[in-house]
Each structure stands twice: as C-alpha cells, then as structure tokens.
A and B are shown apart, each in its own frame.
Chain A
C-alpha cells in the first residue's frame, strides 16, 4: 500500500466518523474533530515557522552582515509577542497594552485604507454605473442600497414620554431596507445550501468510490 492509499483510507474513515454526527454528538465524531484540530495546529505551526518566522530571522538576526539596527528590528516582534503574553498577568499586564496599541494602530490604518479603496469607492462607483442600465431596475438598485443603509440608522428623537423614536422617513425607508436585507440573506442562505449540497455530493462520491474500489 502506498502512502497515498493509506491517506485515502484514513480520509474515508474520518469522513464517516464526521458524518456520524448526523445521528447525534458521539465518541467517533469527537475523535475525528480531535484529529482535525491536532493536524491543523501542526500544519499552522509549520507554515508559520517556515514561511513567516524563519525568513524574518534569516533576514535580520541570523545574517552576519546585518547591522545593530536590523538585529534590534529582528527582536522587536518577539518582544511585542512577549508583551502580549504577559497581558494576562496582574502585575505587569498593563505593559501588554503597548503591544496591543501597536497592533491596533497599524490594523486600524490598514482596515481604513482597505475599506476605502477596496469596498467603499468601487461599490459606490459600480452602483452608480449599474443605476444607468435601465430605469426600473436602476431605481430599485439605488433604492435598495440607500434603504439598506438607512435601516442601520439608529439616531432618534426622545419623545416627552421618554420613548426614543426615529423620524418617519427613516422608519419608512428602513422598513423597505429590511425587506432588501431579508431578500439578500435568503439568497445567500440558498447559496450556502447549494454549496453544502455540492460538497456533500462530492464526499458521497468519494466514499462510494473508495468502498467500490475506485
């Protein structure tokens, strides 16, 4: 038996163990999940070490030609990681906030640029272009986008009785937006079912081919 054949049989047995969950939570399913998590942890570690950490160490700390500045830069992520690790400690835990602030600062800037150039501008431009296609569908598209955005508008006015109420126009367009959101989520749900069905049929074909000797 070749390693590929052993792997395929192991894959078949683990697939059946996973599908046993349909009958309820059981020992076989949990065993398969433990194998899955263990393997995933192993692969993630290897990819992180070989593709992320080792190239960095080779470029900064482990090169003879690297300067003091480069060596300090090479140590910096490990110090930041250490600071994050001590965050749970009651004594020096506050030092971990410095590393967290660094990650959040850079992360916020990347997220801001990504949202602006990757989503906000392209979607606004393409929605504007699609609105020109034909009158009714273009109108529906623009109405859908604006009313969906208005549905998430939570600012309201406090009435004398203490009740907070949104303006009538916002409530009206918000209700239309809710309808568009329900339609979008319904279609996405159907898409998820179709994807699940495709994967399930592929798994069934795999199981049948292994059992049938294919």
Chain B
C-alpha cells in the first residue's frame, strides 16, 4: 500500500520512517501564483498612488490581470489538500495560531480591494454601455444579455458627472494605496507560513517573508510585462491587416513606440526589486554559513552539493544574473525584454522550488536526504494533481481567465475617461 508522498520520494541514508516529501509541486505553485497576484497589483499601484505617468497603460492592464490571477491563486492549495472538500473548514473554524488560518481573511480582503478598485476604474465604461442599451427598444437576445451583465455591473449607479468621476479617481487612489500593504501582507504572510516552521532548518528565518515579497513583486512585474508584450504584438498584427486606420484602433508605429516606452520604464522597476531580492537571499545564505549552527552541515551539503545546479546555475545564474545583464545592457529591445522576463519568471519559480522542495531535501535527522521525482505521466488522480499536468493547469488558468475578464474590463483602447 502506497503512502501519500512515497511515490515521488527517494530516500538516502538515515531518514525517519514517516518522512516523505509531503509538500510537492502544488506548494511550489502556491507562493508562485500568490506572488504574481501581489506583484501585478503593486505594479498597478505605482501609477495610481505614486503617479508614475509612464505606467498608465500598464497599470490598468496589471490590475485586470491581477484580478484574473486572484482566482487561480487558491487553487494550488485545493489541489494539494488530501481532503479538498473540507477546505472550507479554514473559514468555519479558523485556528488563529496557525499561519494558514488567516489565509481566507487576508485573501478575501485583498480580493475585495482589487474588485472595488476595478469597479471604480471601469464604472464609466459600464454606464457607457448600459445606458444606450437601456433606452433602446426591441433589444435582441444578445443585447438583452449584454444589458443585464453591464446593468448589474453598474450596481445601479448611473451618475457619470464630472464631480462623480473625480470622486471615483479619489477612491481608486485610496484603494490602490490601501492595497499595497495588503498585497505585501498577502505574500509576506505566504513567506511566514514557511519562515515560521521551526522544525525546518532551511525555512526558518525571519527574512523569509521579506524575501518572498521582493521576489513576488519581481515575478508579478515580469508576468505583466510578458503578457503586455504578447497582447501588444497581437494588436500589431491586427493593425497590419487592417487597411485603413480607424479612430479607435491605433496604427502600427504608434503601438510600437508606446510599447517600448512602457517596457523600458517597467523594466527599471523590475531591476530595482530584483536586486533587492537577490541581496536578501544572499544575506540569508551568508548568515547561515557564518553562524553555522547545528543544521549547517546538512544544509551546506544540500545547498552546495545536491541542489547546486538548481540553486546556483538555474536560480541565480539563469534566473537572476542573465536577465540582469540583459536588462542593464543599453538599447533594450522588445525581443530581449521577452527573453529577460521569461528568465526572471523561471528564476522566481526556481526560487520557490528550492525553498519548498529544497527544504524537504534533507531529513529531520540531519543524517539523510530525500530526493523529489516530479510525476510527469499521471497514472492516477494523485499523480495528476500533484504532478506536471496539475501544475500546468494552474499556470495556464489565469491566462484563460484573463481572456474572459478582459471582455468585460477592456484593457486597451478604452475611451479616455479620467
């Protein structure tokens, strides 16, 4: 009879009999996805709160994307639970000495902030669509359904006077401002879940929440840049095919100049947070080596031995150093930016991997090791949801959601409202 975790765990030397890699790929995905959510939101707030004008388009885009990511973020936890149907118990009987217990509260607070900010941002858009439909007689079925959707989205508020819009603007600013600490809390707290496990020598450090926040912002910005470039490229293609320029759709060159401007601006913020994240991680590593407490012998053998490739080559080399060079080299092009952000995303994913899987790579006895073999071809539900395919489903989900959400909250070519 197979025990949960036995199928993907290989033991070496002295490991306690009950030890397996219980937290697998989905727990790698969980901080990765919440990190993307938090990062995307922080990016959008840079414009709304600090008034960084160059990020205007990016800000709106990032907010909508953050909303799409928000729905995908709790899914890895559900996939990971052995009793997923009991997931609601966390809301019903939260046990507040546990770091996981507050997840429901922090997460819904954050969701409410993003949703209300979106509403204020798109209120005029909803009214613009709902109002003519309301007045129109003999609506078709399609028009009826469109009317019902947008009419409900207005929440019955049709006031789009100059003064009302100014109030909207103010509300957005307040919500974006309040959202930054909440987003940081949401993710810092994911770091706390790991950092507070005293039984785990690799995880336990008060730096963990801060490291998580920094890398979260890095990954969120990177994903926003990537998706932004992809959608822009798609629009370029569309505008190429279109013969005569319409007033709504911008011309090819116009899109191009906007694009490179936004990207190089965003890249600067990406770099700033990336350098901060790397410094903290290195500080943690140096500190562990210098203090060399009881666990250091086994940690050193994992960090510099067993996991050397995934930590130093994949995470720091390919995921941090190379993109750093790519972005710092003069004359940033779109193509180079795409390679850069892909590498950054990979680097942050590897960091999550090295924390979650690396933290279970050694036994609690400090005298043995465990190796993780990611299930690739699923042969039952367990190896599907905690395997490569389960992780892929989680990763693709926000993009699919974004496609639908962007139908209601258009991110480009919105008639200038504010």
Are chains A and B native binding partners rather than an unrelated pairing? no
